[in-house]
Each structure stands twice: as structure tokens, then as C-alpha cells.
Amino acid sequence: MNCEEFIRLSREWKGNVCLFGAGEIGSTWAYELISNAGFHIIFYCDNYRTGETLNNLDIKKPEFLYANASDLLCFITVGVKISKQIEKQLKQNGVLNTFIINDINCINELARFVDENPATQINEKLKRVLSDEWWISRQFKDVFGYFPDLQNPKTMNEKLQWLKLNDQKPEYELLVDKYRVREYIAQNFGSDYLVPLLYVTSDYEELSEDKIPDTHCIIKSNCSSHDFEIIRSKKDIDWEKLKLKYKKVFESNFYYVARERCYKEIKPLLLVEKLLETEEGKIPNDYKLHFFNGKCEFVYCSVDREGMDYRKIYDVNWNELVFDWSTSDKNHIPKKGPDIPQPVSFGKMLEIGKKIAEDKRYVRVDFYDVHGKLYCGEITLYHGAGYDRFIPNEYDLIYGKKLIL
């Protein structure tokens, strides 16, 4: 999206506007974005829907648009896959004044542009659409089918959204920064709990076979999520592809994905850590301890990631709990697998986790146990950004009641 051009048009365009695309995009967030930017929308146009009304506007046939295109600005509000096709269709029929808005991330691009260019002038209504609260509400509805109650949240996921908006402390940036949190762990609990760090750089172009140590390792950024790369054989790595992957990470800003403000000012780095492995040469189980108001309510275990890859959830007495909280996919069916024993170092996990959690409403602290040796993984303030579904659904409210804001 050309953000500068969109803002210029919002200030200077005095004529009428139509939206081509009366589907999910055109009827919801794109309509809100365009109308709140100050554009005067007078009708919709669609190849398949005509003779109806949407947002109190008529849906016209394309021929109507072709006949009245000279004094109109047409926003193309369809999906990414067909937006260029629609643009070509319109141009072939004399509709030359077009602007594509085809992905909800256009709003994030616009929000970031305004943040990074503070002299940019936009109206108050557009500021609302670019706000954290608007974005969070829209994302939440897209996942769960209803808007969250951000004033009086009840479910666990609603309360995580409330925390994103209302619970901000300077230390949170340090805790979620995967590089700086190492210093926090070392100072408070000792460096023995850190996964060995082999290399760190602020330049993704340094990723090469020469720079990376000759040992099994894992590469990840300090400022994002799920961007890791496991390396067991350097000769099997496409280094240029890897550089491109992390170039995209560095050029993005993870804050705008789910509006977790603690990520906004993190300076991007790449970390190369020793790859923790079991005796079988696999990634060890990941023990995620969830603390509510300083109390560990359950332990979420990611088991056998390179094999059966399933999840187990236990209470602190290692009794299995019968729910899942792992994905926003409404069609997700949790994988089942055998019970796992309580890790040897579980008592120490609880001790460290409670110390980290003592002044926080909610926090998730991740650990690994490798042959009885404990390692601290990462600290998460908003599990799944507050968009992971509980299965069964009623556990969203059950655990929401346990978390006191």
C-alpha cells in the first residue's frame, strides 16, 4: 500500500468514491478505513452482487461504474489474489483512477507510516481506525466471531487484550527481547540457566557458512516470534534464502502484528544459540508455565516437536488437564499422545517462574530440561497474543475467572 499517496488523497480528493468489491473486505475493515479517512463513498460495485444494499449503499453493476468513471475515485477492495485482475478489468473499461486496498495489513502499514512520520496530518476518525484498540477488536472478531468487551473483559483471551492495552511497564520490553532477557535471567538467577549463545549480530547479511559455528545450532531473532531456523548441517542451508527471511523480519515491526507494545522499540538482532538436543538427537520438550497473579495454574508442554508433535497440559501436581490452548484455527483438532513424566528440574522451574511472575498479572515462562539440567527459554506476556482458542471453548471463561485484573 502506498501510504503517503493514501493520506494525500484523503486530504485532497474532493470528489466521490466507490468501492469495487462488496465482499468481506469491502463490507468491513476497508469500508471503515476509507470512510473514516474522510472519503465520500456513494456506492459499491461488484461483478457478482448487484441490486442489494451494503452499509446503506447501493451495489451497482460494473457497467454503471464504467459509465460514471470520469469523476470517481475507485478503491479496489477485494482479496490479494484477484486485486490486480480487477484493476486490469477496470482500466480496460476506462476506469483509470483506482487505488488497491486488498489486505488488512494495509492498516498496519498505514499505522506504522504515521508513527514514523509524526508530521503527517490525519483526521481524528482515521486515528481511531489506526489505534491499537480498533485493531485488537477487529482481529479478535475475525478469530472468535464477536467483538471483545475491553471495558469489562470476562474470558481469558479478552483479558489478554485488556492487558495489551492497559498494563505497560518499562521492564516488559526487556523481558520479551530474546537477547536482553538473557541479562535479566543471569542477574536474577544465574547464567547457568541460559542456553549457550554462540553468535549475535545486528546484520542479517552476516549469515553465512563461515560465520556460523560448526555445531548444531538454532538461529532466531530477538524481536519476533516463530522465526527460528535449526541448523544441523551448514552445507544444506540456502544462505541467500535465509538472509531474505531475516531481512523481512528486520524490516517489519512485530508490534504491528497484534499490537503488543512491548515489541515496538526493540532493536532487531539475530541470535545463534547452541541447539539443545535429547539423547536421541531431537529438540527437548518445551515446558510453558502459565502464571495467573503469581500462581502457576498449569504447565503447557510441547512434546516431541520433531516426532509425534503433540501437546500435554498438567497442573502443578502433574495431573493431566483436559483442554487445549494452542491455535486460532477453529478447525484444529488437538493431537493426542502418551503422558510424559514430570521433569527432574520442575521444582526449580516453579521457583524461578514464581519469582518472575510475582509482580505481574499474567506471564508465561518457558523452560527446557535436558538430562536434568534446566534452561530458561523465553518469557511471554500474552500467550498467542490472546488469539489462541481454548478447546473446549468453556475453558476460556473458566480461566478468565481465575485471572484477576
Q: What is the pLDDT of residue 321?
A: 97
Q: What is the pLDDT of residue 295?
A: 98
Q: Which three cell numbers stand for residue 256?
A: 504491528
Grid coordinates 508513527 are at which residue? Answer: 115
CB atoms closer than 10 angstroms to residue 327: 15
pLDDT averaged per 10 residues in sequence order, the chain, 405 residues: 93 96 96 96 97 97 96 96 97 97 92 92 93 96 96 99 97 98 98 98 96 95 96 95 97 96 98 96 97 99 94 98 91 90 98 98 98 97 98 97 98
User: Measuring CA to CA, how many Å separate 50 from each of 21, 33, 60, 80, 246?
Assistant: 11, 23, 5, 22, 45
Q: For residues 325 and 288, what is the distance between their CA atoms, to the nearest angstrom?
A: 12
Q: What is the pLDDT of residue 197?
A: 98
Q: What is the pLDDT of residue 1?
A: 81
Q: Quick one: CA dihedral 164, 166, 171, 173, positive or negative? A: positive
Listed residue (357, 318, 359, 358) closest to 339, CA to CA: 318
Q: What is the pLDDT of residue 14?
A: 94
Which residues, in sequence order, are CB contacts of 320 under 8 Å at separation 6+?
312, 313, 314, 339
Q: What is the pLDDT of residue 333?
A: 84
Architecture of domain 3-106: 3-Layer(aba) Sandwich (3.40)
Is the domain covering 283-402 a CATH 3.40.630 domain? no
Phi-psi bin for 170: left (phi > 0), alpha (psi -120 to 50), beta?
Answer: alpha
Q: Is the peptide bond before 392 cis (omega within 30 degrees of 0)?
A: yes
Which residues, in sequence order, are CB contacts of 368 under 8 Å at separation 6+?
195, 276, 284, 285, 286, 287, 374, 375, 377
- For the packed helices 3-12 and 105-116, what is the interaxial angle rounded to 10 degrees? 80
The pTM of the full predicted model, rounded to 2 decimals, is: 0.93
